[in-house]
Structure 1
Amino acid sequence: MSEAGQGGWRPGGTRHVLLAVHTGREDIVELARSSAARLARAGITVRVLEDEAKDLGIEGAEVVAPDAEAARGAEIVMVFGGDGTFLRAAELARYSHAALMGVNLGRVGFLAETEPEAVEETLTAIERCEYSVEKRLAVEVDVIDAGGAVVGGTWALNEVSVEKAQRSRVLDVVISVDGRPLTSFGCDGVLFATPTGSTAYAFSAGGPVVWPDVEAMLLVPTNAHALFARPLVTSPDAVLSVSIPPDGNRARVSADGRRAFDVPEGGRVDVRRAARPVRIARVHPATFGDRLVAKFGLPVRGFREVRRHDPGHELTPSRNVLARDVVSLPPAPGRGPAREEVRGGSADPDA
């Protein structure tokens, strides 16, 4: 689902962009500084987080506390870093109308909109409000004790993981959908993922890749001791539950790998669609398929075509801003001028 850009900004009002930066690398800091300077020249107020302000040293920036009010009234939360930085920024943007826009400076950066080489185009799009906003399904989590009382809760953009607390023991679980028991088994854990998170932890655990505009929730067991323990794709309006028998192993809940809770003995974890989606800004017209090819380095030629020296017909000569290198190839006999082959994004070892 998408909508036109302009976020929380309205014509005639002051525009604000909040920066969320991985300040542990000087190259990232320098790119954030130069981007902030350009936004300021365009009349856009730049905000920086209180715990990052000293490292960034951006003169004239508005310093805000890293809490739920940080992105209030901002149009964009611009993220400089990898997926970890993006997920941290999502916590700030969640309760505002701001849209997240990421510049990938990590290893994969699947959530990011662009690579550093195309950041000037991205800044131009922000200045001109030439971007669209995707609404991504998020999930809310309730941790419930044996007596039925809610004792904890959180949310996630990617996934919620219910995992065993003791590595030496198997976690016994009962899976329910909409309050009805479905199956039970022993396992290392259970993942509840969104389509956005289908290419993250859930993908590594053997779950399906789900296009982000598909509204659904995923349930992916990890290392289950059962015949019927396949990944499930359910309605976005379903309530997915995992119950932990009181005589079983203890469990912990982790949301996006950032927020964790213990599950009480004999407790239950309920996962449902969040009332508020997460908004992600897009500038470049790359499809989700393009993103998969670029981020995972997928082969786009058939096995017979690999033996040839020219790209297969599946490849398009257009530039892919998600890829870090574009290679010109010599013309093949009888095939006209040279073409460009877009290769998958190279991994940055310093995420």
Structure 2
Amino acid sequence: MTASAVLVVTHSGRPEAVAAAAEAVRALGRVGLKAVTEDDGCSPDDLLMALVLGGDGTILRAAEMTRGTRVPLLGVNLGHVGFLAESEREGIDEAVRRIADGLYDVEERRTIEVRVMRPHDEVETGWALNEATLEKADRARMVEVVVEVDGRPLSSFGCDGVVLATATGSTAHAFSAGGPVVWPDVDAMLLVPLSAHALFARPLVVGPSSVLAVEILTRSGTAGVLVCDGRRTIDLPVGTRVEVRRAEEPVRLARLSHAPFTDRLVSRFALPVAGWRGRAADGHGAPARELGRG
């Protein structure tokens, strides 16, 4: 049986999001697709797509809801930046038409697997699409940590925390902490210290087979908390070890265009590129077009 239902996910506390969801439900009905919500208990086998109306936080919530399925997410941006979104508010009808006609591609984004080992052999696991952030539990004190790459210690320092991110998450918390922007097709993980008191506390980029680890030292004056994608938290007592590695299960994002990631950066951050001439087809530098106009 062909999937014919679309899961509509939105931020129910925002009137604009509720209105957009109502518009999406009407649009889905016009093209013969059934709209369902997270309260309807629809089987993943019945879902063609998850249509997500909101910012990146809502998309991360939808990723959590659909984890373990092959249901792709199509984000309609109602937030401020919306790096994970594919369409804007005024494009709902067009997005629904493209869903109905199958005119979209699916892009797989790597996730990370988190393993938390507390003292006395207590183990807890988690995952993230953007990042897992070790944060200090006491705002008035630094947390003392040692970081490790591939089983070897690298450095120890006091800090406000450590961001362990995917390439997708490089434009989220890691970016605000001074980490590099990593193109999403680069299979890498990032480690970005937060306000570290150390000579060497630079952002690190490692390959897909690496394992990153952070331990809260026994001399630390405060415990920590691990926050995955800003949604799920795990308590980290002093002496806890956190390991992060690439997960096997990706998140699938529906794409309506083949615009390069560079254009997405320019659009989302309103970067100044007016005056760019580009390179003409003949390679002699005649103006092909100017990005940032129109």
CA distance in 1: counterparts of 2:176 and 2:165, whole angstroms? 12
- The answer for the alignment partner of 1:308 in structure 2 is none
1:32 aligned residue (7, 18, 21): 21
Matched AA of 1:266: G
* TM-superposition CA deviations, 1:60-117 (whole Å, max 9, x none): xxx22xxxx7645412111011111111111011111100100001111111011112
Larger mean Cα displacement after TM superposition, 113-122 or 217-226: 113-122
- The answer for the alignment partner of 2:162 in structure 1 is 190
- The answer for the alignment partner of 1:141 in structure 2 is 114
**Contact 1:158–1:256 (8 Å) recurs in 2:** yes
1:238 aligned residue (210, 234, 237): 210
State the Cα distance separating 1:158 from its structure 2 match. 0.6
1:108 maps onto 2:72 in alignment: no
- The answer for the alignment partner of 1:283 in structure 2 is 256
Cα distance 1:269–1:30, how it changes in 2: closer, same or farther (>3 A)?
A: same
1:313 maps onto 2:285 in alignment: no
State the Cα distance separating 1:261 from its structure 2 match. 1.2
**Matched ranges for 1:1-351 at <5 A:** 13-50=2-39, 63-64=40-41, 71-150=44-123, 152-248=124-220, 249-301=222-274, 311-314=275-278, 341-342=292-293
- Count of paired positions: 286
TM-score (norm. length: structure 2): 0.91
**Contact 2:3–2:45 (8 Å) recurs in 1:** no
Identity over aligned pairs, percent: 49
Cα distance 1:315–1:31, how it changes in 2: closer, same or farther (>3 A)?
A: farther
* TM-superposition CA deviations, 1:201-224 (whole Å, max 9, x none): 100000000001111000000111
State the Cα distance separating 1:315 from its structure 2 match. 11
**Contact 1:300–1:314 (8 Å) recurs in 2:** no
CA distance in 2: counterparts of 1:73 and 1:263, whole angstroms? 39
* TM-superposition CA deviations, 1:134-192 (whole Å, max 9, x none): 11011111110224441x22111111100111122221111111222121111111100
TM-score (norm. length: structure 1): 0.77
CA distance in 1: counterparts of 2:69 and 2:173, whole angstroms? 27
- The answer for the alignment partner of 1:348 in structure 2 is none
Matched AA of 2:125: G
Q: Tell me the SS of whatever aligns to 1:37.
A: helix
Matched AA of 1:265: V
CA distance in 2: counterparts of 1:264 and 1:297, whole angstroms? 41
Cα distance 1:158–1:14, how it changes in 2: closer, same or farther (>3 A)?
A: closer
The answer for unaligned runs of 5 or more in structure 2 is 281-286
Matched AA of 1:40: G
Q: Tell me the SS of whatever aligns to 2:37.
A: strand
* TM-superposition CA deviations, 1:279-324 (whole Å, max 9, x none): 00000222111110011010113xxxxxxxxx442499xxxxxxxx
Q: Tell me the SS of whatever aligns to 2:193.
A: strand
Larger Rg computed on CA atoms: 1
State the Cα distance separating 1:33 from its structure 2 match. 1.8
**Contact 1:71–1:77 (8 Å) recurs in 2:** no
Q: Tell me the SS of whatever aligns to 1:49.
A: coil
The answer for unaligned runs of 5 or more in structure 1 is 1-11, 51-62, 302-310, 317-334, 344-351
- The answer for the alignment partner of 1:332 in structure 2 is none
